[in-house]
């Protein structure tokens, strides 16, 4: 078992993230196995705190959201909304003593677009810096 597999990362990503098609998704699932659960969303603004909370409650050690860059959201405000919801959810988990770092957010860059695989690597690195979640242990 690789060190990645000792944690589970729930990765929600906007469908406009570069190189995030079905094939790339399968590659990631193969690479990280049970260490990653991928959820594509039509727009990160559709994500609600309950999605993040349920992932943390049910299986995830860490949850990450990857949005399209600010200013290029196809639904105009989606990524801004996602940011506020992440903040709200962080406040909720902090209130029960769970580290706020268990909810991460990466806002894509317009000038320097990054593929889903690279985002996943960065998110996984940050996931591994945290101990397993006390919710599941």
Partner 1 sequence: MITGEQKPIDEIREMIAPYKRILVLGCASCVAECAAGGEKETAMLASTLRMAAKMKGEDVLIEEKTLDRQCVRDFVILLDDIIEKYDAVLSLGCGAGVQAVAEMFTEVPIIPAINTEFLGETRDQGYWVESCLGCGDCMLHHFGGICPVARCSKQLLNGPCGGSMDGRCEINPDVKCAWHLIVDRLTKFGALDRLENIYPPKDWSRKQGGGPRKIVREDQQK
- Contact footprint for partner 1 (CB under 8 A): 48-50, 53-54, 56-57, 92-93, 95-98, 134-136
Nearer to partner 1, 127 or 133 (CB): 133
Nearer to partner 1, 54 or 128 (CB): 54
Residues 6+ away with beta carbon under 8 Å from 16: 68, 72, 74
Strand partners, 38: 11
Q: In the complex, what is the shortest distance from the CB of residue 45 to partner 1, in angstroms, rounded to a whole number?
A: 13
Q: In the complex, what is the shortest distance from the CB of residue 35 to partner 1, in angstroms, rounded to a whole number?
A: 21
Q: In the complex, what is the shortest distance from the CB of residue 135 to partner 1, in angstroms, rounded to a whole number?
A: 5
Q: What are phi and psi of 24, to 5 degrees?
A: -65, -35
Distance between CA atoms of residues 46 and 67, nearest Å? 11
């Amino acid at each position: 078992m690789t060190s990645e597999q000792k944690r589970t990362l729930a990765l929600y990503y906007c469908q406009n993230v570069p190189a995030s098609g079905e094939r790339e998704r399968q590659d990631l699932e193969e690479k990280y196995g049970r260490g990653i659960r991928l959820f594509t969303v039509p727009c990160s603004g559709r994500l609600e705190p309950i999605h993040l909370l349920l992932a943390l409650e049910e299986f995830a050690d860490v949850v990450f959201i990857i949005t399209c860059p600010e200013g290029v959201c196809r639904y105009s405000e989606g990524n801004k909304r996602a940011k506020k919801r992440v903040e709200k959810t962080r406040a909720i988990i902090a209130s029960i003593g769970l580290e706020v770092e268990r909810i991460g957010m990466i806002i894509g860059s317009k000038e320097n677009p990054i593929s889903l695989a690279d985002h996943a690597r960065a998110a996984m690195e940050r996931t591994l810096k945290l101990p397993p979640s006390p919710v599941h242990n």
